Amino acid sequence: MVELKTDTSIDAMHEAGRIVGRALTAVRAAADVGVSLLELDEVAREVLREAGATSPFLGYRPSFASTPFPAVICASVNDAIVHGIPTRHRLRDGDLVSIDCGAELNGWVGDSAISFVVGTPRAADLRLIETAERALNAGIEAAVVGNRIGDIAHAVGSVCRSAGYGIMDGFGGHGVGRRMHEDPPVPNEGRPGRGLPLRHGMVLAIEPMLIAGGRDDYHTSPDGWTLRTNDGSRAAHTEHTVAITETGPRILTAR
């Protein structure tokens, strides 16, 4: 069931989203060659602590997971697409890093992700990240009253496919509210004019996940969480929590 949020609730979600934005900004600033993924997780934890927020990631255990998630960020490097567990791995020059983070404040959740390169970037990685951001922006532009979920999916997928990238099969965005994952699902590829109508008060996480090699398949790492490209190519992940309003899409996790 899709819950329509009141304007007051959307404002409250914006407060949670602002914390997520601050956490991602702090993690991006701290990320450098030689810094460990666990150290980046601690940076995000400190932002949440200072804001009086908690993490919807920490201890989260969906049906596909054999163990609860042990961190407040997902830190996915190079061929890891999403759900990377922060470890003692120290970043190397040229690593492509995707960070996903959430915050819960006063019962409301914000969820967002960024991708970036540490040190000297490859041109191909910059193109991949730029395309992921364009796909996200296209999805947000389609998130207007009167459109449908398929319009968002088509906007995201068209940008990804036209650039020759793969789209992670079976994963996409989702509703956000009192819980991190709510109805409706928001695919990263679809047909325009199809699916659930978009209404004022719907809040969605729109999150393109691009695979550089052009294939859509992936596998789960032995840790039970990290999803990696099957062809070993690199991946990028971007995400914003967005409210559908009569005046247009409102980004609740702006950085």
Distance CA 59, CA 61 (A): 6
| Alpha-carbon 131 to chain mean position | 15
Residue 99 pLDDT grade (very low, low, confident, very high; cuts 50, 70, 90): very high
Predicted pLDDT of residue 66: 86
Note the pLDDT tens digit of each residue in 180-205. 999 999 999 999 999 999 999 999 99
Residue 238 pLDDT grade (very low, low, confident, very high; cuts 50, 70, 90): very high
Beta strands at 96-105 and 108-117: parallel, antiparallel or unpaired: antiparallel
- Is pLDDT above 90 for 73? yes
Over residues 6-20, the mean pLDDT reads 98
- Say how many CA atoms lie within 13 Å of 186 toward its Cβ: 32
More confident residue, 255 or 206: 206
Q: Which of 250, 213, 246, 249 is nearest to 81 (CA)?
A: 213
Q: Which of 109, 83, 119, 111 is nearest to 98 (CA)?
A: 83
Distance CA 152, CA 9 (A): 23
Note the pLDDT tens digit of each residue in 21-30. 999 999 999 9
Backbone angles phi, psi at 75, to 5 degrees: -125, 105
DSSP string, 28-56: HHH--TT-BHHHHHHHHHHHHHHHT-B-S
Strand, coil or helix: 165: coil
Q: Which of 236, 231, 208 is nearest to 219 (CA)?
A: 231
For residue 154, give both structure tokens.
């088509």
Note the pLDDT tens digit of each residue in 103-117. 999 999 999 999 999
pTM for this structure?
0.97
Strand order in the sheet with 166-167: 166-167, 209-211, 235-237
Predicted pLDDT of residue 27: 98
